[in-house]
Amino acid sequence: MSGKDSILDLFYRLVEVQAPSGFEEPMMRAFIDEIKLYVDEVHGTPRGNVIAIQKGSDPTAPKVALVSHLDQIGFIVFNIDTAGFIRFRKIGGSVTRAIQGQHLQILTEKGPIVGVVGMKPGHITTPAEANTIPPIEEMYIDIGARSREEALAMGVMNGTPITYTTSPLKLANGLIASPSVDDRAGCAALITIAKRFANKRPKATVYYIGSVEEEIGLRGAETCLHDINVDMAVAIDTFPAGFQPDVNMRDLFYEIGRGAGLHVGEQGDRVRIQSQQVHRWLRRTAEAHNIPHQIGIMSGGTDAMTLMQTRGGIPACTIGIPRRYSHSPVEVFAPSDLENLIEIVANAIMDLESDFDTTRPGVG
């Protein structure tokens, strides 16, 4: 990241990197290349997580881990039929209704092979079929091959990862539509914060961590803090926003363009509460610096819930960038929310004093 780079320049560069869950190596390399100029040490782990360390000016100050995931949703080749059509399955939670008719790229060892997700001609589609979303087991990718042998010769084989080929678009009012906003935006935030502290170090030592396999079960985060002596952690991710015609505010009340989301907890099959000490630290910073933010319970899950279960328990919470159309190739976000998130986290760390206590009241 050069001095003239904007946050969007960095984001666009990261979006170009294709790294679905389990195949993050290209993003591991990109993350290291971008952040290594601003930290004292950076290394990868056998599990695949990338850890960059930026030493603070006061060894007694709390040590903070900032975690964003390197992976993205995608697909994987499941089988190739005799006519050369590719059967595939999901890696992560891609929205099924968004898949048909899309351009995809199969990331072979010989290079990417582009294809399209085919569909039955509209002229012979029944009304019932026209209003039904087929399961992914019935979908197929057309790469132009005429046989299974030709597809294999092109480098396509079972187990090859696949991603969308959609490119970012600039919408009105400064909004951006793009694949992989989740979590290229979070990775861009980590790198930008590291750059900000490169020449003016906070008291706290900061660990910038790119985790792997978040989209398939928060798997990288399960191990990323085991060998690191940190006092608290913040997961920086994106999260679903509402305020669109087919979403009720009852279900999703966050809105893009209204600031970063400071989550009290996360809701999946149940509500799970995050560290309120870390949450209040971020919230007080946002309030003190008058930085736009939103407070609530997000839908979904982030690395924070796994980070909290590391060793004896690491106090952790999530701060995020709201996005529309989650887990589709056209996730929409407001760059101002990303910028506000960076301001909150950077100011919170810069203001952190050695006497900050992450212990829950009544303990100790």
Residues labelled catalytic: 214
- Measured CA distances, 195 to 129, 233, 280, 303 (Å): 52, 19, 25, 23
DSSP states of 195-210 = HHHSSS--SS-EEEEE
The answer to whether 56 and 198 are in contact (CB under 8 A) is no
Instruction: Tell me how far apart the alpha carbons of residues 252 and 101 are, in angstroms, rounded to a whole number.
Output: 28
Cβ contacts of 217 within 8 Å, gap of 6 or more? none
Quick one: how far is CA 297 from the chain centroid?
Answer: 18
**Contacts of 308-312 spanning 24+ positions with Cβ under 8 A:** 308/233, 308/274, 308/275, 309/222, 310/222, 310/225, 310/226, 311/225, 311/226
Q: How many Cβ atoms sit within 10 Å of the Cβ of residue 342?
A: 21
Exposure of 268 by Cβ count < 10 A (0-12 exposed, 13-18 middle, 19+ buried)? exposed
